[in-house]
Amino acid sequence: MVTLNRIRNVVSYLREAGSVSQWRMVRGNCPCCGPSRFLVARPDPFFTRCMTCKATAINLSVIRILNEKVSAKLLGKVAYEMSTYGATYSFLRKNCPTFHCSEYFPGYESGEWINGVRNEDAQHLSFADESFDIVTSNQVFEHVPDDIAAYRECWRTLRPDGHLIFTIPLHDADRTVQVARIDAGTISWLRTPEFHGSRTTGPNSVPVFWHFAVGDIAERVAQVGFSSVVIENVLVVPQQVKPQLVIHAVK
């Protein structure tokens, strides 16, 4: 069922995509569904989309890393995706015998089920230690007030040699900048207020807490105990031009 928020997100996406006269249809190999055509509305991962599975190059970049770094070992693995939709969700659900997913609903406890959907706060996951072999997320941690706590929770719930693979908006800067924080249960803005869209809550509905920097994101993730943290550059199709940066951490 197409919701009103979903329609609003599509309208917002099309507005940002630019002139239709500049859109291009190209052939490529989708990490999720194989040979396909891609719509490149703008030379950017967010505006590069597989026309078969409908996924953007952002989601597909996580799947590329799963294919290249974990693929041969996927069978029998336990995976957790911090979302209940999208290409990464579909890929892991199909390929991992045991799969968990969740959304975040403010005001509810981690582990609660809200209308059939599991609620999880990335800062306080309800899962036991060493529950997963793989944890993934797309564009989540910039919306988490304490991102270090979230990385620590991922490390805690991963088994030895487990993989954390995720995307976030990364700025070409040396140091991460805090945009907002939580004070006594309310948001205090340290910079100009900024919001991103959500499939469940609509455009410009989710506050941004961090502008993460290429220069220190690996250090931020590694400090909670990961043995290896690498920033992977992924081009799903050359016409995308701008690589999608994917953070790949191993416990």
pLDDT tens by residue, 181-223? 999 999 999 999 999 987 777 778 899 999 999 999 999 999 9
7-18 per-position pLDDT tens digit: 565 555 666 767
SS (H, E, C) 26-61: EEEEECCCEEEEEEECCCCHHHEEECCCCCEHHHHH
136-177 per-position pLDDT tens digit: 999 999 999 999 999 999 999 999 999 999 999 999 999 999
With respect to residue 245, please indicate whether it lies within any of the assigned structural domains.
Answer: yes
DSSP state of 106: T
With respect to residue 65, please indicate whether it lies within any of the assigned structural domains.
Answer: yes
With respect to residue 121, please indicate whether it lies within any of the assigned structural domains.
Answer: yes
The range of the structural domain enclosing residue 92 comes to: 58-250
Does residue 19 or residue 41 have the better pLDDT? 41
Predicted local distance difference test score (pLDDT) of residue 2: 47
Beta carbons within 10 angstroms of residue 91's beta carbon = 25
* Total number of domains constituting the chain: 1
With respect to residue 227, please indicate whether it lies within any of the assigned structural domains.
Answer: yes
With respect to residue 23, please indicate whether it lies within any of the assigned structural domains.
Answer: no
Going by pLDDT thresholds of 50, 70 and 90, the confidence category of residue 115 is very high
With respect to residue 242, please indicate whether it lies within any of the assigned structural domains.
Answer: yes
Ramachandran angles phi, psi of 181, nearest 5°: -145, 170
Predicted local distance difference test score (pLDDT) of residue 28: 97
CATH number at residue 103: 3.40.50.150
Predicted local distance difference test score (pLDDT) of residue 240: 96
β pairing state of 177-178 and 210-213 = antiparallel
DSSP state of 122: T
With respect to residue 93, please indicate whether it lies within any of the assigned structural domains.
Answer: yes
- How many angstroms separate the CA atoms of 84 and 103, rounded? 7
With respect to residue 11, please indicate whether it lies within any of the assigned structural domains.
Answer: no
